[in-house]
Amino acid sequence: MELVPDSKEAMKVAEGIKDKVVILGMGCTRFGERWDAAPEDLAIEAFTECLEDARIEKKDIEAAWLGSHIDEINIGKGGNFLGLTLKLPLIPITRAENFCASGTESFRGACYAVASGAYDIVLAFGIEKLKDTGYGGLPDLPAFGQMQATIGPNASAPGMFAQLATAYSARYGIPMDKLKEAMTHISWKSHQNGSMNPRAHLRKAVPKEQIMGAPMIAYPLGLFDCCGVSDGAACAIVTTPQIAKKLKPNEDLVKVKALQISVSSGEEAFYTKWDGAGMLTTRRAAQKAFEEAGIKNPREEISMMEVHDCFSITELATMEDLQISEPGKAPDDVLSGFFDLDGKIPCQPDGGLKCFGHPIGASGLRMLFEMYNQLLGRWPEERAVKNPKFGLTHNLGGVPNQNVCSVAIVGLD
């Protein structure tokens, strides 16, 4: 009897996550400087909304995944915080940490648990309380191990993403003034969208002249090209399509179409193959996500996106890494309004990291919260995407030459 197949094709039995999991309910707090709320308050705020949206009782939840990044100053290393705060009924709780993809990672764990048949109804949670640390940005943690110790001991996030801008300019021969104009439009767009979102951290529209003339942080990134950090929580309850149809008959269901993640191998940081003008992990995760979701032409089929706009140049380069814009053409698409709220593929309809905010562990689920509600047509007309079918979310944790990237795609039947 032959136990080992002769070829890789014979071993290929995985089918992916497509249409095996439905988002039954979601909740999200207001993001911002939440001096009024402890982590426990944020968790209860998001969970209460999520439970009401799912129309189930707490006792129906069979397992949970908790995403949070900076445990030393936040909620601790384990899952106890969630069980104690929400008074969950002695269920298994797994803490997931994967830099800025931690929220999406908790969602991935919950979805895989349902798709496997291990559980029927599972909670995915993301939370971070960062403003109490006293830092303007992220605390100085040895986050990137070997890379930070050897080639970037004095690196800063703005400094390293600024190099993405100069590398992009050099790679495609795009004058820096045009690139800066496109980056300004990206920040302007996020502030326009954020001004209409009552849960956003920053809710003020900003004129392009102010963005362009803002103080320089790390050339060519000015103040408005950089996102800040926030306090906040977001969560989702997921289940099977069969259970969802019983609980919500005759209603639209948001299904998970793809969940992919890619982690740097060292190729970018330690070798010379990488051109520095985009993220290899995003390219890999996006391609696999499109294959899993059955999407052949992302530029035509994706309806809207929430991407990891930690800096305006990151959003711009991501448009090409996601195969939405042609190489070197993202500035033209940005300036044409292609990614505006009334454009072909709205990007950051809720204001993005830039304006909704960035509590690291919650950000991935916040992005899914926006896609979920847009797909269900729940937002006021002024900030609603027209007739969406597929929504894509993208998280990037780390720096351009060493990072983790997650891509999720959700959609209606």
Contact yes or no for 307/315 (Cβ under 8 A): yes
Same-domain check for residues 354 and 374: yes
pLDDT band per the 50, 70, 90 thresholds, residue 270: confident
Residue 149 lies in a domain: no
Say what the pLDDT of residue 9 is: 61
Closest among 260, 49, 47, 22 to 120, alpha carbons compared: 22
Is it the case that residue 405 has pLDDT exceeding 80? yes
Same domain? 216 vs 236: no
Tokens of 117: 């048949």
Please choose, from the candidates 349, 356, 358, 359, the residue with its C-alpha nearest in 3D space to the C-alpha of residue 392.
349
Question: What is the extent of the structural domain holding 240?
Answer: 16-134+231-247
Band of pLDDT at residue 271, cut at 50, 70 and 90: confident
| 35-to-128, 204, 337 alpha-carbon distances in Å | 13, 20, 37
Give residue 20's Cα distance to chain centre: 21
Please choose, from the candidates 95, 90, 23, the residue with its C-alpha nearest in 3D space to the C-alpha of residue 56: 23
* pLDDT value for 137: 65
2 domain-assigned: no
- What CA–CA distance (Å, rounded) separates 213 from 222? 8
* 295 and 209 share one domain: yes
Q: Is residue 152 part of a domain?
A: no
327-366 confidence digits (pLDDT tens): 999 999 999 999 999 999 999 999 999 999 999 999 999 9
Kindly indicate the confidence band of residue 167, based on its pLDDT and cuts at 50, 70 and 90. Answer: very high
Q: Are residues 397 and 268 in the same domain?
A: yes
pLDDT reading at 406 higher than 50: yes
Q: Give the pLDDT of residue 185.
A: 98
- pLDDT of 274 above 80: yes
pLDDT, residue 225, reads 98
Q: Identify the pLDDT of residue 74.
A: 75
DSSP 8-state secondary structure symbol assigned to residue 246: H
Beta strands 231-239; 22-28: pairing state = antiparallel
Instruction: Kindly indicate the confidence band of residue 7, based on its pLDDT and cuts at 50, 70 and 90.
Output: low
Same domain membership, residue 162 and residue 90: no
Query: What is the pLDDT, as a whole number, of residue 136?
Result: 64
Say what angle helices 280-293 and 312-321 make with each other, to 10 degrees.
50
Considering the domain architecture, whether residues 283 and 361 belong to the same structural domain is answered as: yes
Residues 405 and 270 in one domain: yes
- Non-local (6+) Cβ contacts of 111 within 8 A are 17, 20, 21, 122, 124, 238, 256, 259
Q: Quick one: 182 and 238 in the same domain?
A: no
> Same domain for 306 and 203?
yes
Kindly state whether residue 93 falls inside one of the protein's structural domains. Answer: yes
What's the CATH code of the domain at 25?
Answer: 3.40.47.10
- Please indicate, yes or no, whether residues 237 and 334 belong to a single structural domain of this protein: no
Same domain, 170 and 265: yes
Q: What is the mean pLDDT of the chain?
A: 93
Residue 321 covered by a domain: yes
Identify whether 4 is part of a domain: no
Q: Kindly state whether residue 3 falls inside one of the protein's structural domains.
A: no
Lowest mean pLDDT segment, chosen from 2-16, 66-80, 308-322: 2-16
**Torsional class of 283: left (φ above 0), alpha (ψ -120 to 50), beta (otherwise):** alpha
Q: What is the pLDDT of residue 272?
A: 84
User: Amino acid identity of 120?
Assistant: D
CA distances from 158 to 80, 221, 371, 406 (A): 35, 7, 28, 21
Task: Give tens-digit pLDDT for 111-162.
Answer: 999 999 999 999 999 999 988 776 666 665 554 455 555 556 567 889 999 9
> Residue 300: is its pLDDT beyond 80?
yes
Residue 139 domain flag: no
What percentage of the chain reaches a pLDDT higher than 90?
85
Q: Is the same domain home to 268 and 399?
A: yes
At residue 70, the pLDDT reads 84
In angstroms, what CA-CA distances link 43 with 50, 106, 370?
11, 15, 18
pTM of the full predicted structure? 0.94
